[in-house]
Each structure stands twice: as structure tokens, then as C-alpha cells.
Structure 1
């Protein structure tokens, strides 16, 4: 077992200032140099953008992101094209992952399963002063989110389904950021997910303080929604988009269905986070090991987070933060059965 940590970053201000602050932090971090090494062999194929097209789509769906990207570019002394390529979340391939999500009337619990060697170790609490809703959650590709909740209580997580037959569009983490920053409730999020272009196939799980949960099955070709409290790594409606092998995804779904009766948020959290419950995974080398467990309680305005299994979660009172109370946590630590560090770690 090895020790890991995620940095907690909180910021209130304009998108440009937020981007500039992140760029300043990145200059002191190993994240960019390690990403450069990881993507060196495939950068030409994966990081291919049309700047005009990407800019037009950001202007349409989340214009504040252009300011954030400009702030990043200015701090790093990059061109805007470089910032779009590295942090824009448009056209870029996404590392495959597992992931299980369980919801109830007042919670969403999510296991993020992937390879720790690609994990950024950044947990962001951001309250924009120019445009968009305040959000809380872990990052991916700096500007994107793996899961999260916004000030309206809309919570979002996603599950990888398939990268075959990809098309031009946004990848999951940027779509997650756009959903959280621009949508007030589940219905607005569903409408957005039907409009935005999707690079690859993912389930997007949505819940809000009203307690309804929808799973949006989104591929580059079609987007449909259904009601369910459980999501893993396959589609139930768009089955033609599934990977050839879905046995483990269906096993986790069936296991959660058998035990999803009358659970409160903490019991549901333990079901996903405890190593001996059958949902937590340790296949890190296959990009399918549980790195973090997130929990969101929309009606209470609270979020929980833990790295690794059998962990007591750190609890964030997001509602109090929005009222001006500062969060005192700067790092969250945990243990994983793996040998390579997160890319934010020295």
C-alpha cells in the first residue's frame, strides 16, 4: 500500500483570475511535465483541435471557459491554441475507466475507477463572480470535473462505456464541468446533454434536491435518458454502443441492485468504499481500480470525499462555503495498493 493525496483548492473570482491562479500553481507542480511524458507518443493523434470550432462551441455552451483558458495561457506564457489543446476538453481522448454510481432520495455516491498514474489529485471549490454556478468536485484535465455538485444542488457523475466510433465533440470531464456550471436542475442538464456534441460514449448520472435521478446514455450518435438509481459501465437502452465485454459492469450493477433497499447516505457510501463489499476495485494497472469515492447530498448542500478504500470521508459543507465560510482542508490523504504516484505528487 502506498500513500496518496489530493490538493484542495478553493477560489472565488472571475474565470480569468481563476485560470491565472491555476496556471501559477501549475508552474510549481509536476502535473504538466508528467502529462507531457504520458502523452508524448500519441499527442499528435489525441490533441488535435480546430481552434475556431472549439471557440465557437465554448462561446455557445460555457463562455466563461474561454476566459479561464486565457488566464491559464497568460500565466503559463502559452498561446490560446496551446491552452485549448491541453485544457479545452474538445477532441481529446480519455483514459478508459470503470466506475460505479448509486443514488438515493437524498444522495449520490460515486466510485471513480481508473489508473492512478493519470490522476491529477486536485479537488476544486470554485465560486465564480462573473458568470455560472459555484461548483465543488475533483478535476480532470485541469478544467474538467470527474463528478461534482453545484450551488443549486445538482449533482453529476459519469461512467465510461465505449471509445470506439468516436466523433468530434467534448469529452466527459468538460461535459461534466459545463453541466455543473450552467444547469440548475436535472431537466436542464438532460436538455444540455442532448444538445452538446459528444466525443465518446458515457453514462451521465444526474440528481438534484428534488430526489429524482436520471441516467443519460450519451454517444456521438444518440442521447437518451432513463430513470434509475444505479449506473456502471454499459448502456441499457443504446446497447448497440456497448463494448464487447460487459460482464464486470453487469456484475456490479446486479450487486448494487440486490442491496439498494432503504439505504441512507452513509450506508451507501460504505457499500461502495469498503474493500470487502464487492464494488470497490483494485485493478489499477488495468485502469479499473477505485481511486476515490465521492458523495453528494444535494438537499443538505454537503459533499464527501475519500482516496482509497475503508476510509472515513472528508465532509465539506458547501452551503456554508457559499455563505462565506472558508474551508480549512488543504490536502486529503489515503492509501492505494499501487506503486505509481498521482501526477500532482513529487
Structure 2
């Protein structure tokens, strides 16, 4: 089945208030973005709940309140109509994150490759943000003001994947798009980002991949379940991979919905990094993103929420970003500049969905920590 998916791209710059006004302009033009980010009047957040959320957001991202004011006033709505105050829209996507560190790349650069998988309808808005007094940054939005990934001009790059399937985050605190935006706003290095993660009140079951232009990378696994909150890091001098399950031993108690497809994508990426050590570069990592499973990490299962909607390649050392909109198989790559011109536009891309050959096997949940060592997995695709 073929469907068109709607993308947007914008540059928001100037004061925080002007950045918010730019978001409002994009909302007016993009009906899907409007549907996702404006709450029905009956669901508007008001009173003490609104004030508490605003304090939480402003503490994490100083100046965010001005952006929210710019958006709400430009649209002529009360701030509580904006979905940033209600995490009802944070449905779990499925992603692959891959870091090739300088020790194994051909040119000694650090690369971060990322694919994002979901269904047909998603926010899909690439934002280049240049707010006065803050680092310039580029990444895809979630709840308009949050980010799902990105890189700033100080050299920090952050991507994410979720482990929230059938296990929503619990308790009070910040959900992942706000946390990720806070890192891009306030940090320049992996060390700074790690320290900030340890300080922020987290309410998220997600995995971040952090990288900086010095050549360092780190995985941060986070869980907020049943009153327990845990943050666990994993480092490497060669490569790092994260998909949609926890890998760290101390996160085993939270690894309750470990999908076979997630473990397989993790192993596909690991194999490519280990076998390509010394020869890896931008084209090699793009090829890994472009090849469909089981040879790469691209996925065509849009109807089931596992269709590749975008792929991203960050040359973290050089501060360069390229994006492939839609399915990466046969599509082109678009460079994105943090400082130069970037087109404000809305456009559609056609993708084609299919089902796995063996859905029962493909969608199986594995026990915590299970590495799925069986030899019959390729027939599932």
C-alpha cells in the first residue's frame, strides 16, 4: 500500500518570542502539525496544572515560556491549548541509533547515523532554530517545542529511541522531547549532557545517544517505572548502537518488552560496524541506513508503526548533517545547515507499506536480556 506523508521544514530565529511566532506560522500552513499540537478545547490544561507544567518546562529550557507565548498569541489561543502541556501525543516510535567512533572510521571522524520509524501520521517537522543567546541547532520537533534528535553549533549531537512499548513512563518529571531539547540548548559536550541528565527530573523510558565533536560518544538509558527512576550510561572507544530495548545489565528489571525486531536491528548494525572497521565513512553508513532488513536497518512496515520516515547522518566532527526524507531506499539526501539558508516549506513524500512475511515471529517479545540467537530469523522479513 502506498501513501503520502507530509513533511515540513522551517527556520525559526530572532528572540524567543519570534521563534514562537515562526512555529505558529508553520502550524497555520500544516494541517497535520496543527492536529498533533493543538489540544481540543475540552482538553485544555488550565490553573495549577498549567502553572506547574510551565515551571517545569522553563526550569529545563530557560526562555521556553517566551516561545510558548509567541506561538499562542500569534494563533490567538490560550497557552494551555498547546500539546506541550499534555504528553498524550508522545506515542512510541521505533528507531535505530548508530555511532562509529574515530577509532574505526576511515577519516578519523565521529559519525552518528539515525533512522526513525513510525506509522504514516507523525509530526515530521525539521526545525533549524537560531534563538538569540542560545546555540543554533537543527533537529526534528515533537510537541513543537521539544526535539526528537538534533545537533547544535557547539558540537553536541543527540538522538533517541524509545523503550516505552506497553510500559508508559510514570511519575512526575520531564518527558524525552523536552529533555533532548534541554541538552541541545544547554550543553556542548557529552560530559555536560551526562551531568545535566543526572540533574533533570526525568519521566521517560528512552535511550539517548550522545556525541560531540571531540570524538566522544555515550549511550544513556533511562527508565521511570513503578516509582523507580534509573539512569545508566554505556561508553565505547569504537562503536555504539541503540534500538528499542535496554542493553545495560542494570536496566534488566525494566527490559519488559524486548522486541525481536529491535534485537535484530541492533545486531545488524553491530555486524556492519565490526566488519567495516577501518573503512567506515559517510557513504558506508548511509548504505546501512538505506538497506532494508535483514541487510540494513530500513523498515517498510508503516501500517504496524515500523516504517522508516526519515534517516539522518551526522558528521559530528565536521558539524554536518544530511537528512533523507521518507524511505531511504532509492531516495536522495539533503544537507542541512545550522547557519546558512534553509527553505521554509511543506512537502509530501510517497512511501510504500508492506507486512512482514511471518508477523508472529517478527513481532515476538523476548525475555529480558535475550539476544535471540536462533538461526531462523531471516525468514520473518
Q: TM-score, normalised by structure 2?
A: 0.78
CA shift in 2, pair 1:333/1:25, >3 Å: closer
User: Counterpart of 1:259?
Assistant: 272
Q: Separation in 2 of the partners of 1:271 and 1:315?
A: 18
- For residues 314 and 334 of structure 1, what CA distance do their matches in structure 2 show? 14
Q: In structure 2, how many angstroms separate the alpha carbons of the residues matched to 1:175 and 1:244?
A: 23
After superposition, the Cα gap between the structure-2 partners of 1:208 and 1:304, relative to the gap in structure 1 and judged at 3 Å, is same
Structure 1 residue 233 corresponds to structure 2 residue 244: yes
| Structure 1 position 244, deviation (Å) | 3.0
What is the CA distance between 1:44 and its match in structure 2? Answer: 5.4
Contact kept in structure 2, 1:104 and 1:265, CA below 8 Å: no
CA root-mean-square deviation: 2.7
Q: Is the 8 A contact 1:99 1:232 kept in 2?
A: yes
Q: Go from structure 1 to structure 2 and tell me whether the alpha carbon gap of 1:143 and 1:167 turns closer, same or farther (over 3 Å shift).
A: same
- Given the alignment, which residue of 212, 234, 249 partners 2:262? 249
Unaligned stretches of 5+ residues in structure 1: 340-346
C-alpha distance in 1, partners of 2:281/2:296? 19
2:138 corresponding residue in structure 1: 136
| Among candidates 314, 337, 341, match of residue 352 of structure 2 | 337
1:306 and 2:306 are equivalent in the alignment: no
What does 1:110-189 correspond to in 2, within 5 Å? Answer: 110-117=114-121, 119-129=122-132, 131-162=133-164, 163-164=167-168, 166-189=170-193
2:31 counterpart residue number: 30
Q: Distance in 2 between matches of 1:200 and 1:93?
A: 14
Distance 1:93 1:47 in 2: 18
Separation (CA, whole Å) in 2 of partners of 1:240 and 1:47: 36
Alignment of 1:178-327 (within 5 A): 178-220=182-224, 221-228=229-236, 229-237=240-248, 238-260=251-273, 261-262=276-277, 263-275=280-292, 277-307=295-325, 308-310=327-329, 311-318=331-338, 321=339, 325-327=340-342
Q: 1:75 to 1:207 in 2, by over 3 A?
A: same
* Corresponding position: 1:70 with 2:73: no
Cα distance, 1:316 vs structure 2: 2.2
3-state DSSP of counterpart to 2:218: strand
Give 3-state SS (helix, strand or coil) of 1:222's partner. Answer: strand
Larger RCO: 1 or 2 (CA < 8 Å, sep 6+): 1
Once the two structures are superposed, what CA deviation does each residue of 1:272-300 show, in whole Å capped at 9, x if it has no partner?
12236331112212222111001111221
Instruction: Give how far 1:225 is off.
Output: 0.9
The Cα shift of 1:136 comes to 0.5
Cα offset, 1:313, TM superposition? 0.8
Structure 2 vs 1, CA of residues 232 and 309 (structure 1 numbering), >3 Å: closer, same or farther?
same
CA distance, structure 2, for counterparts of residue 70 and residue 301 of structure 1? 31
Larger radius of gyration: 2
Offset at residue 91 of structure 1 (A): 4.6
How many residues are matched? 326
Equivalent-residue separation in structure 2 for 1:255 and 1:236 (angstroms): 15
Q: Which residue of structure 2 aligns with residue 54 of structure 1?
A: 53
SS at the partner of 2:163?
strand
Structure 2 portions without partners, runs of 5+: 102-109, 355-381
TM-score normalised to structure 1 length:
0.86
Shift of 1:25: 3.1
Contact 1:123 1:138 in 2 (8 A): yes
Structure 1 residue 217: deviation in Å?
Answer: 0.6
- Per the TM alignment, residue 52 of structure 1 is displaced from its structure 2 partner at its CA by 2.6
